[in-house]
Structure 1
Amino acid sequence: MKKPPALSIGSRLAIVSPSWGGPSVFPHIYQQGIRNLKNLGFEICEYPSATLDANELFHNPQIRAQDINNAFADNDIDGIIATIGGSDSARILKCLDIETIANNPKFFMGFSDTSALTTTLNQAGIITFNGPSVMAGFAQLHNFDDKYQSYIHDFLFSNPASRLLPTFCQYNHGYPDWANIEQTGMRNPLLNSRGPQVLQGAQNVSGQLFGGCIEVLEMLKGTEFWPTPDFWHGKILFLETSQEKPSVEYVRYWLRNYGVMGVFDKLSALLFGRPRDYSDQEQIELEQTILSVVREEFFNSQLTIVANLDFGHTDPQVILPLGIQCEVDVQTGQLNLLETVFA
C-alpha cells in the first residue's frame, strides 16, 4: 500500500465536493469549517466543485471527478478533504483517473458518501482516510472538548509507529438546524456512551482496515468498483449507518449479502460504528441483529465483532485509515493502528 506524505503546519489542502453541494446551501457552515482548518495550520485551496451550486454539481459529475484528478496531480497540494457527503458520489467513479491518483498518493479524507471514493482508491493501492469532512466535523471542531481537539491535531501532524485510537465517554447525534446561522458550528446535546461493545471474539486479532458507510457500499455491489472475492482475506471490515437511520431489518438484509458472498469467513474482524439517532435500546437491537446474522445465519462463531465504536455519523469520530494494519483488543474493544499512516 502506498502511504501519503506526512502533513505539517502550512500543508496545502485541496477542498472538493465529490457529492452534494452543501457549501452552496449552507455557506456559513462551510466557512466555519474552513476557518477551523486554517486555525489548525493548513493553507486552503478551494477547488471549483467546493462551492459550486448544488444543482449544477449534481448534473455535472465530471466536474467533481476532474477536481479530484487535478488535486492528486498537483504537486503543490499536500492533501484533499471533502466538504460533505451526499448520495451519489458513485456516479463520478468512472471519471476518475485512477492511474494518476495511484501514482500520486496524498492524504484524502471524508466519510459517509465519500466512502465510494475512499474504498475505490484504496483498492487501487493507496491509503485513504475515513474521517471528518469540512462541514460535518471540522465546522464543529472548536466546540469539541480538549481531548478530541488534541486527538485530531496529533493524528494529522504526527506519524508514530503505532497509535491506540481513543474512545469517548460522551457523544452527540448530529447538529442543530443548519439554516439557523446563530447555531453555526454547534453540536446537539451530549449523551453518555455505552462504549465499545465486544459481541464476539476470544483473542486479539489484526488485519488491514477497510470499509465505510454501509448504504453507500450497497451502491457498489455488482460493479467494477466492488472488491474481488480474494480481497477480503485478513481484512478488518468497518461499517456505519448514515443519518437516514436505516432500519435494523435493512441492516440485516445488507449483512446477509456479505454472508452469502462468504465475506465473514475471510475477515479478521467486523466493526460497527455507533449508529446515528438510534436510542440505547435500538443500538442493542442492532447489535443483536449483527450477531445473529454472523453467528446464527452463517454459523460463524469465530469472527471478532465489535460495535458502538466512535466512527461514522455521530460525534466525536476517530479517523480510520483504509489499508493500515490494525489490532482489535477483545477485552476493551479498542483499536490500535500497528504502523505509521504517513510515508
Structure 2
Amino acid sequence: MIRYPYLQDGATVGITAPSSGVDPDLHELLRQSIKRLASQGFQSITGETAWMQEKAKSAPAKIRAKELNDMFQNEAIDAIIPPWGGELLIEILEHLEFDQVQSKWVLGYSDTSVLLLALTLKTGIATAHGVNLIDLRGEQVDETTAKWRSALATKPGESFTQYSSPAYQRNWQHDNPTPWIFHLTEPTVWKTIESESVQMKGRLLGGCIDVIRHLIGTPYGDVATFQQQFIGNDPIIWYLENCEMSTTDLRRSLIQMKLAGWFANCSGILFGRSPANQSVDGYEVEDVYRELAQELGVPIVYDIDCGHVPPQLTLINGARAEVNVKDGKGVVVQQFC
C-alpha cells in the first residue's frame, strides 16, 4: 500500500538542498521564500546546504545526504521542500537511509524528481512533483501553482481535482519581477496523439526524464518490484518532462525506459511542456510521441502543465489517478488510496 503524508496547517517545513543550493548573491530569494511560508502560517527549519553552492552542488554528497537524513528522521519536520533542483542529486542516493525515512511530504521538480521517484519506489511513500520553494516567494500565486497546498493537505482515502491552466509562461523574465513571479501570457492547450479525446487511469509515476532515466538498472529504479509490492500491479500513468534534451536524446531515453520494462503495464503517458525538444534533421518531438504511442499502444498527451515551463500541476507519485483530456483542456483527479 502507498503511504500518504498529510500536511497540516502550521506545519514545519524543512528546507535543504539535496542537489543545488542558493548562491550568496541570490540569498534574498531564499529569504523571501522563507518569509512567504511564514506568512501562510508555516514554520521552517533551514539547513546549511540551502545557503551553499560550489561546483554544481550545494555540498559534497555525504554532507547533503546527512542533512536530508536528519530532516527525514526529525519528528519536528512535517515536509521537506528544497529551494530548487540542480544537477547532481543522484550522488546522494547511496548515502540515504531509506529504511529510517518517516512519512512526510517531499515537494519539488527538476533534479529533485530523482529523489521523489527513488523514495516512492523504495519505500512506497507518496511524493509530490510540483513547484519549487523559490517559486513560492511571490505576493500572489496563480490557481494552478497554489494547488500544491490543498493537494498535500488531502487526507488518505480522499481525492483532489486539478484542471489545465488557462495560460502558461513562454519565457523566464528575471529582469521583470512582479508580485506573481510567473508571467502567464500564452494560452494553454493540452494536445493528444491519434485521438481527439483521451481518458487514462492508473498510478502516477514520473519526473524530469533527463535525470530519472539514470535510475534505470540501479536499486533505486526497480519499477517492477514497486508495482508488485506497493500498488498490486495497477497500471502506471507516466508523466515526463524534458528540460534540455534534443528529440533524438529524448527518443533514446524513452527506448531505454521501454527496454528496461518501465512501460510494462502502462496505461498512458503525459508529457510536460518543454523549453528543449530541439529537432534533429527534421525529427520533431511530435514524431517521437507518435512513434511511442504506436509502439506501446497507449494514449499520449503532451504539453501538459508539468516541468520547466510553468505553471505546473502537483502530481503525486503513487496516487491513483484519472486523466481526461478533450478540446485542449485537461482534468486530473488523484485519489489517495
For the criterion TM > 0.5, the same-fold answer is: yes
Instruction: Report the counterpart of residue 22 of structure 2 in structure 1.
Output: 22
Of 142, 147, 155, 1:151 maps to 147
Q: Structure 1 194/138 Cα, relative in aligned 2: closer, same or farther at 3 Å?
A: closer
Does the 8 Å CA contact 1:195/1:308 hold for their aligned counterparts? yes
Amino acid at match of 2:112: T
| Cα pair distance change 1:73/1:237, threshold 3 Å | same
SS in 1 for 2:172: coil
Residue 322 of structure 1 deviates from its aligned partner by 0.4
Unaligned runs of 5+ in 2: 228-232
- What SS is found at the alignment partner of 1:10? coil
* SS of residue paired to 1:69: helix
CA distance, structure 2, for counterparts of residue 276 and residue 56 of structure 1: 21
Partner residue in 2 for 1:169: 166
Q: Residues of 1 paired with 2:171 and 2:81: CA distance?
A: 20
Deviates more, 1:42-51 or 1:149-158: 149-158
Q: Does 1:250 align with 2:249?
A: yes
Q: Quick check: 1:29–1:185 contact (8 Å CA) kept in 2?
A: no
SS at match of 1:336: strand
List runs of 5+ in structure 1 lacking aligned partners.
Answer: none
**SS of the counterpart of 1:126?**
coil
How far is 1:275 from its partner?
A: 1.0
- Alignment correspondent of 2:230: none
For residue 203 of structure 2, give the secondary structure of its aligned residue in structure 1.
strand
Q: Deviations over 1:37-80 (max 9, x none)?
A: 22222101101222134349555111111111111111111111
How far apart are the structure 1 equivalents of 2:56 and 2:191?
43
Contact 1:49 1:57 in 2 (8 A): no
CA distance in 2 between counterparts of 1:335 and 1:294 reads: 20
CA distance change for structure 1 residues 203 and 56 in 2, over 3 Å: closer, same or farther?
Answer: closer
- The Cα of 1:126 is off from its aligned counterpart by 0.6
Does 2:328 align with 1:334? no
Percent identity, please.
26
Q: Matches of residues 186-201 of structure 1 in structure 2 within 5 Å?
A: 187=181, 189-200=183-194
Note the C-alpha offset of 1:188.
5.8
Give the direction of change, closer, same or farther, for the CA distance of 1:269–1:26 in structure 2 (3 Å limit). Answer: same
> Quick one: distance in 2 between partners of 1:174 and 1:134?
19
The 2-side partners of 1:262 and 1:294 are apart by 16
Query: In the TM superposition, what whole-angstrom CA distance separates every residue of 1:293-333 from its partner, at most 9, and x where no partner exists?
Result: 331xx3x3x31211111111111111111011001224454
Assess if the C-alpha contact under 8 Å between 1:24 and 1:54 holds in 2. Answer: no
> Runs ≥4 in structure 1, deviation > 6 angstroms?
none
CA shift at 1:163, angstroms? 1.6
Q: Distance in 2 between matches of 1:9 and 1:313?
A: 28
| SS state at 2:120 partner | helix
Equivalent residue for 1:96? 96
What per-residue deviation string (whole Å, max 9, x for no partner) do you get for residues 177-220 of structure 1? 4xx6x838764643323421122568633111111000001222
Write the letter of the residue equivalent to 1:151: K
What residue number does 2:81 align with? 81
Q: Which amino acid aligns with 1:122?
A: T
Which TM-score applies when normalising by structure 1? 0.84
Using structure 2 for the length normalisation, give the TM-score: 0.85
Q: How many residues align?
A: 322
